[in-house]
């Protein structure tokens, strides 16, 4: 039975002794854009708005889940007395509509407010 040739490890590149060891651990300098007041205002505004939308979505979502867990009778009530559909179905679809509305609000605000602020920052004009 033929034996396979032994495999050899690829050659290791030699350590470059010409590198300055101090340059490897040199401290990082932040980008100058990070210290500008208009950039900080953009960042703060976007963050506050994003967290507000996140809180609204979590409030609606957990409100639905907690209602489903602790008061399922509220969502099980019939929408129309003679029909089998309960209130929970339109409420569930309403959550989807609410999610799409939050996305639309975010996109609208991004396209109108934040894009203008970004353009002003790029042009060097205070917003």
- Would residue 27 count as lying in a domain? no
- Would residue 20 count as lying in a domain? no
Does the pTM exceed 0.85?
A: no
What's the domain range around 46?
33-123
- Would residue 10 count as lying in a domain? no
- Would residue 110 count as lying in a domain? yes
97-110 confidence digits (pLDDT tens): 999 999 999 999 99
- Would residue 100 count as lying in a domain? yes
How far apart CA 41 and CA 57 sit, in angstroms, is 24
Joined tokens for residue 122: 């790029």
How far apart CA 114 and CA 105 sit, in angstroms, is 13
- Would residue 89 count as lying in a domain? yes
Give the count of beta carbons closer than 10 Å to the beta carbon of residue 10. Answer: 6
Domain count, the chain: 1
Strand, coil or helix: what is 78?
A: strand
- Would residue 53 count as lying in a domain? yes
Q: What is the pLDDT of residue 25?
A: 65
How far apart CA 26 and CA 6 sit, in angstroms, is 43
**Contact present, 77 and 86 (Cβ < 8 Å):** yes
42-79 confidence digits (pLDDT tens): 999 999 999 999 999 999 999 999 999 999 999 999 98
- Would residue 6 count as lying in a domain? no
């Amino acid at each position: 039975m033929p034996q396979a040739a032994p495999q050899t490890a690829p050659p290791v590149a030699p350590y470059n002794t010409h590198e300055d060891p101090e340059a490897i651990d040199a401290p990082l300098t932040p980008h100058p854009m990070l210290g500008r007041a208009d950039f900080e205002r953009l960042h703060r505004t976007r963050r506050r708005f994003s967290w507000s939308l996140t809180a609204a979505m979590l409030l609606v979502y957990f409100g639905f889940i907690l209602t489903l867990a602790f008061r399922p009778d509220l969502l099980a009530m019939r929408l129309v007395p003679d029909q089998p559909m309960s209130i929970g179905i339109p409420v569930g679809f309403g959550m989807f509509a609410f999610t799409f509305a939050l996305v639309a609000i975010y996109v609208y605000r991004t396209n109108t407010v934040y894009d203008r602020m970004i353009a002003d920052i790029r042009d060097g004009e205070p917003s």
